[in-house]
Amino acid sequence: MIVIFGLIVALSSQTPQTAESTGRIAGRVTVEGTNTAVAGVRIILIPAGPLMRPPRPAGQPLRPPPQAVTDQDGRFVFDRIFAGTYIVSAEKTGFVPFNQPDQRHTVEVVAGRATALDLQLQRGAVVSGRVLDPSGEPMADVHVMALRRSPTSPGRTVARLFPAGPGAQTNDIGEFRVSGLAAGEYCVAAMPRGQFPFGGPAVAPPTGNARTTITATFYPGTTDETAALPVAVAAGAEVGNISFTMQSAAAFRISGIVVDENGDPVGDAMVMMMGDPRSGMFMGPVGSGQSRADGRFTIGEVPAGSYRVTASVPLRMNGSGRGRFVTFGTGPIVSGGAAVAASGGGVGAVSSGAVASVPVIDQATDVVVTDADVTGVRVAVRASA
């Protein structure tokens, strides 16, 4: 009992050490290569590991990361920041975000000490232009992104494309302006509005023999990413007149059912179809929708390609006021006009047919659309811990 009491006292004496566990950061943000202050920069400190802070009480929401905004002289201060290592993010419209995917800037906060942190931001480059529909008319509400190629790794012949920022929407006359880009080369891609989450219930679109859809298109007007013409920009410069026409392609439907661990249908699940990241390109959601009460879903306007289908849904709140989430893995590899069984990444026998019919295989695999609708996709649910 004496030992236990002593341990309780020792732990209790350690909890109110907030002051002894915190440090201070002060600094200034200027334009790269100059002493010109940059006001209105939002700086965020993202924990990169364990911090010297007391444990979060049960039921208390997660603490947001520390944030500060620079004043007119570009100065900022973080007071009483828990000691530890942080990733530094700094953003302002018109400048290159400080924390790029291929760069990582960290700062070490030491308890009881002040740390100086001076940052320099590069003025962002701009790519602007216009997007036209297949008939040559301006196309509004198209999402345009600047994509960078990552270096090829051993065993990969195609460089992966990843977004350099959130991109921009075309206006009512089809014009776009993507800003805040670092100096370098980019592929410019445009995606129709329908390729972003989430739509309404995933129901079948109107039937028809000849279905087409406008698909993701790369400058100067191709659906083949390897044929995309790179656009080079210098720091702070603007490259304009990047105009191109969206391309159309044959459209198909993917349908199936979302089930739980017992094989029972799951309604109101948010089903999302993404481009297969192994293809070398990340373009965001290609199609999405919500499963009906019987767990079935249909996603239309899908061009040929390789996809990864997932689904998720929040469960009802329990008596303690907390919610749980369920995660879903995709069904087996499916090919339009054929069903392909997968096991451990391998490919089994292929059976041809006008419409694919998928065997039940509880694995996270892919959906491949070639030249026909794909049916019977089974998305299996597994409750999170």
pLDDT score, position 225: 84
Same domain, 244 and 263: no
pLDDT score, position 285: 64
Q: Pick from 93, 121, 149: which residue ends a domain?
A: 121
Percent of the chain with pLDDT over 90: 39
Same domain, 135 and 238: yes
Side chain identity at residue 95, one-letter code: F
Same domain, 262 and 346: yes
Cβ(117)–Cβ(81) below 8 Å? no
> 65 vs 44, 87, 139, 147, 189, CA distance in Å?
7, 10, 39, 28, 33
pLDDT tens for residues 172-196? 999 999 999 999 999 999 988 654 4
The CA R_g of the chain, rounded to the nearest whole Å, is: 26
pLDDT score, position 279: 55
Same domain, 135 and 111: no
**Segment 5-14 mean pLDDT:** 36
| Residue among 305, 124, 281 nearest 218 (CA) | 281
Which helix or strand (DSSP H or E) is residue 5 part of? helix 2-14
Rounded Cα gap, residues 118 and 115, in angstroms: 10
193 by DSSP, 3-state: which? helix
Q: Give me the phi and psi of 278, to 5 degrees please.
A: -75, -10
Same domain, 132 and 146: yes
Q: Pick from 249, 284, 319: which residue ends a domain?
A: 249
What DSSP string describes 127-191? Answer: EEEEEE-TTS-B--S-EEEEEEEPPP-TT--SPPEEESS--EE--TTSEEEEEEEPSEEEEEEEE
Same domain, 256 and 376: yes
Same domain, 102 and 141: no
Residue 210, pLDDT above cutoff 50: yes
What DSSP string describes 281-303? Answer: B---EEEEEE--TTSEEEEEEE-
Same domain, 89 and 130: no
Q: Which CATH number fits the domain that encloses residue 133?
A: 2.60.40.1120
Same domain, 111 and 149: no
Tokens at 120, concatenated: 């320099």
Q: Which CATH number fits the domain that encloses residue 24?
A: 2.60.40.10
Same domain, 23 and 78: yes
Which helix or strand (DSSP H or E) is residue 149 part of? strand 143-149
- Highest averaged pLDDT of the listed ranges 158-167, 220-229, 359-368: 220-229
Cβ(23)–Cβ(83) below 8 Å? yes
**Residue numbers of the domain that contains 282:** 252-383
pLDDT tens for residues 338-352? 333 332 222 222 222
Residue 209, pLDDT above cutoff 60: no
Same domain, 330 and 316: yes
pLDDT tens for residues 223-280? 888 899 999 999 999 999 999 999 988 889 889 988 888 888 988 888 888 776 655 5
Cβ(222)–Cβ(111) below 8 Å? no
Same domain, 16 and 92: yes
3-state helix, strand, coil in the chain (%, to 5): 5, 45, 45
Rounded Cα gap, residues 19 and 220, in angstroms: 58
> Tokens 């190629």 sit at which residue?
149
Q: Pick from 192, 226, 249: which residue ends a domain?
A: 249
pLDDT tens for residues 113-151? 999 999 999 999 999 999 999 999 999 999 999 998 876
Q: Give me the phi and psi of 131, to 5 degrees please.
A: -115, 130
Please give the tally of structural domains in the chain. Answer: 3
pLDDT tens for residues 55-91? 666 666 777 899 999 999 999 999 999 999 999 999 9
Cβ(22)–Cβ(114) below 8 Å? no
Cβ(169)–Cβ(175) below 8 Å? no
